[in-house]
Amino acid sequence: MESNRELDAAHQVPDGVGVKTVLALGALSKVLETMDRACGHLYGFHQLTGSAAFELGDAVRLLREAGHDEQAARVERDIVSRNVIPGHGTFQIIEAYNSTYYQPFAAMERGIVDELAAGRDHLHEAGLKAARRTHHHPDHTATPPTS
């Protein structure tokens, strides 16, 4: 890993923090990023299911307009506002995922970063950037410009 002198203060590895700890924190961070993506997929599922539910309302209306009241009533009674899994709408799945799994892990990851690295995020990634950048190239600066 590159020396701290190329990194801004927020990304310098604190004294006493070893390479294995930085790698472990990077692995935890990657897990959290993957969980963020999983949550995004849940929101996509929620929105697609909701869109389909509104389109189903249009289909029920069209069945009625075409004179198929029995079929429209059956769809309306058995499918419109149906739980996607027993007792749950899609929003409840998201809420359960967030409170049962995502938020506890995110809080734990944050606590471990605070304990082991003085709250400094992305130490591994910062080290990779420093080690791989082309020195003196205008698009490979070590840190963002200062205002």
Closest residue by Cα to residue 25 from 136, 114, 138: 114
- Is the pTM higher than 0.85? The answer reads no
Give pLDDT, residue 145. 80
Q: Are 1 and 19 in contact (CB under 8 A)?
A: yes
Give pLDDT, residue 26. 95
What sign has the CA pseudo-torsion 4, 8, 11, 12?
Answer: positive
Q: In the block, which residue shows the tokens 């506890």?
A: 104
Distance between CA atoms of residues 11 and 25, nearest Å: 13
Distance between CA atoms of residues 12 and 143, nearest Å: 12
Q: Residue 75, class by beta-carbon neighbours within 10 Å (0-12 exposed, 13-18 middle, 19+ buried)? A: middle
In this predicted model, what pLDDT tens digit does every residue of 61-111 receive, in sequence order? 999 999 999 999 999 999 998 999 999 999 999 999 999 999 999 999 999
In this predicted model, what pLDDT tens digit does every residue of 8-37 receive, in sequence order? 888 899 999 999 999 999 999 999 999 999
Distance between CA atoms of residues 118 and 54, nearest Å: 49
